[in-house]
């Protein structure tokens, strides 16, 4: 099993007055090539869960990525981090080098990857960033362009699993669409994608698997169409509200109407 979480629990600030449970007995299997959307209220535990997947957070229980177990002291953490790339929320806040080219070359060097020019161009094509940006300062870019650079710096060391923590937060409509296209291309290339978001309907076309977090618990995991059919109260208590597109899709799905596939492409 490529990624497996078994009885995963985690609390912040243990034995302090601020102790806070963030994950409670989570069990989940993620197979190679799948695309998972993690949804639920802010504070429900999504980021914490994503951070357990590359050893940034070592929880109780067991997290296994391919053959690597995150809480095993013999695990090569560098190998794990290279396998599981995380694109954090507001990743642009981590830029510190003078040019985009240097920024892109920084991460692969850490993983002993010698990035070739053609590879940089390949990744720029995937995210939709013009080549002549390479000599610009990251700080001269718009928010959406910065996000693209941050995505390239993770793609640059070719991780097998790619985690996006709210990749479209704070972006305008057209950049959200382009992040969506990047996710689609990467998934079509066979990458396993794990993504937390508040914008479910943007990913409808890809029919992702869905995981719902609520108060540190994983309360649903399954196929997109099973998620769509969930009880409305159950969903709204988890902070999930369907927009018009999801409602239309649900109606077509319940009537077994082929129109649903057209709606998904809208
Ligand atoms: P989400 O990604 O769903 O918004 P998080 O995983 O960020 O949820 O947070 C889960 C819970 O853990 C929340 O109650 C949050 O306040 C708490 N939490 C998150 N990060 C920290 C931290 N660094 N220190 C203390 N508590 C935290």
Domain positions in the chain: 3-234
Residue with tokens 């599981």: 84
Burial class (CB in 10 A: 0-12, 13-18, 19+), 106: middle
57-85 pLDDT, tens digit per residue, is 999 999 999 999 999 999 999 999 999 99
* Global ipTM: 0.99
- Residues within 6 Å of ligand 1 by CB: 12-13, 20, 22, 40, 42-48, 213
> Which distant-in-sequence residues (6+ apart) come within 8 Å of 48 by Cβ?
10, 12, 22, 23, 57
pLDDT at position 141 is: 92
Q: Which is the closest atom of ligand 1 to the Cα of 42? A: 4
In this predicted structure, which of 98-102, 124-128, 159-163, 172-176 has the lowest mean pLDDT?
172-176
Residue closest by Cα to atom 12 of ligand 1:
22
pLDDT at position 218 is: 98
- Is domain 3-234 annotated with CATH 3.30.530.80? no
Can you give the length of the chain in residues?
A: 266
Q: Which is the closest atom of ligand 1 to the Cα of 13? A: 25
Stronger pLDDT, 193 or 96, i.e. the higher one: 193
Longest Cα–Cα distance in the chain: 56
193-232 pLDDT, tens digit per residue, is 999 999 899 999 999 999 999 999 999 999 999 999 999 9
CA proximity to 87, closest of 158, 167, 143? 167
Instruction: Check if the beta carbon of residue 52 is closer than 8 Å to that of residue 10.
Output: yes
* Separation of CA 166 and ligand 1 centre (Å): 14
* Separation of CA 247 and ligand 1 centre (Å): 30
pLDDT band at 259; cut points 50, 70, 90: confident
pLDDT band at 149; cut points 50, 70, 90: very high
Q: Which is the closest atom of ligand 1 to the Cα of 196? A: 2
Sheet holding 35-39, edge to edge: 84-87, 161-165, 192-196, 35-39, 209-214, 217-222
Phi, psi dihedrals of residue 16, rounded to the nearest 5°: -125, 165
* Separation of CA 99 and ligand 1 centre (Å): 33
């Amino acid at each position: 099993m490529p990624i497996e979480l078994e009885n995963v629990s985690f609390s912040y600030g243990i034995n302090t007055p601020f102790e806070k449970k963030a994950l409670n007995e989570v069990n989940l299997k993620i197979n190679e090539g799948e695309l998972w959307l993690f949804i639920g209220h802010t504070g429900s535990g999504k980021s914490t869960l994503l951070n357990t997947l590359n050893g940034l957070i070592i929880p109780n229980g067991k997290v296994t990525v391919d053959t690597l177990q995150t809480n095993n002291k013999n695990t090569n953490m560098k190998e794990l981090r290279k396998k599981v790339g995380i694109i954090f929320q507001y990743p642009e806040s981590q830029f510190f080098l003078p040019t985009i080219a240097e920024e892109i070359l920084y991460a692969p060097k850490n993983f002993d990857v010698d990035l070739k020019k053609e590879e940089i161009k390949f990744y720029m094509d995937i995210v939709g960033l013009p080549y002549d940006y390479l000599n610009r300062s990251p700080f001269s870019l718009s928010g959406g362009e910065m996000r693209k650079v941050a995505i390239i710096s993770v793609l640059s060391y070719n991780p097998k699993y790619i985690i996006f923590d709210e990749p479209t937060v704070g972006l305008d409509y057209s950049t959200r669409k382009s992040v969506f296209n990047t996710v689609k291309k990467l998934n079509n290339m066979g990458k396993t994608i794990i993504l937390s978001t508040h914008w479910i309907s943007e990913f409808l076309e890809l029919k992702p698997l869905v995981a719902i977090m609520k108060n540190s618990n994983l309360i649903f995991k399954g196929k997109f169409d099973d998620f769509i059919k969930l009880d409305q109260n159950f969903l709204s208590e988890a902070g999930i509200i369907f927009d018009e597109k999801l409602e239309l899709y649900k109606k077509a799905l319940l009537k077994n109407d082929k129109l649903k596939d057209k709606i998904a492409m809208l």
